Amino acid sequence: MLPSFSRVAVLSNPTNPYGAIAVGEARRGATALNLQFDLIEASDARSLEAAFLTLDRIRPDAVLVVADPFLAGERVRIAHEMIKNKLPSIYSYHEHVRAGGLMTYTTNYYDVFRRQGLFIDKIFKGAKPGDLPVQQPTKFELVINLRTAKALGLEIPPALLALADEV
């Protein structure tokens, strides 16, 4: 899909504590894959505009948009800018892809919420919350936006399409 992939940018909100964790993991992954890593930060409309200008200037091969309420609220604008600047991007929520983003591989949040309901039921029936085991997500979704792929001039490999939960 991206044969000469060598540079990744991560768009994150520096005011979100989760962002620091996600950026650290992305940086470790980039290092392990011998990719150049660029951190781009945005926490408001002005810094998001500056982030777009930086992305246009540095021209990464792909952009990872970290999960964040502010960035999620700007998903239509972010997707538009990524398409306009021909930047393949991956997101943390399927809503970003429905707004025009290229793809996401993320937790199936509906499954998480369903399992939370089962926990609540156990608590209402007398279980102590501290006695219940911590559960990690078990279902993940790959969602691909083919319109965006076409707009970016990308051909999604058939093997990847076959793995997708939603296209």
pLDDT digits (tens, 9 = 90+) for 119-162: 899 999 999 999 998 888 889 999 999 999 999 999 999 999 99
What residues pair up with 11 in beta bridges, in sequence order?
40, 65
Contact 71, 42 (CB under 8 A): yes
Contact 120, 78 (CB under 8 A): no
Q: The whole model's pTM is what?
A: 0.86
Cβ-in-10-Å burial (0-12, 13-18, 19+) of 13 comes to: buried
- pLDDT value of residue 91: 96
Which has the higher per-residue pLDDT, 2 or 37? 37
HEC readout, 16-62: CHHHHHHHHHHHHHHHHCCCEEEEEECCCHHHHHHHHHHHHHHCCCE
Per-residue pLDDT of 76-126, as tens digits, reads 999 999 999 999 999 998 899 999 999 999 988 888 888 888 889 999 999
Cβ-in-10-Å burial (0-12, 13-18, 19+) of 22 comes to: middle
Per-residue pLDDT of 20-69, as tens digits, reads 999 999 999 999 999 999 999 999 999 999 999 999 999 999 999 999 99
The residues spanned by each domain of the chain are: 7-163
- pLDDT value of residue 115: 87
Domain 7-163: assigned CATH number? 3.40.50.2300
| pLDDT score of 3 more than 80 | no
- pLDDT value of residue 81: 97
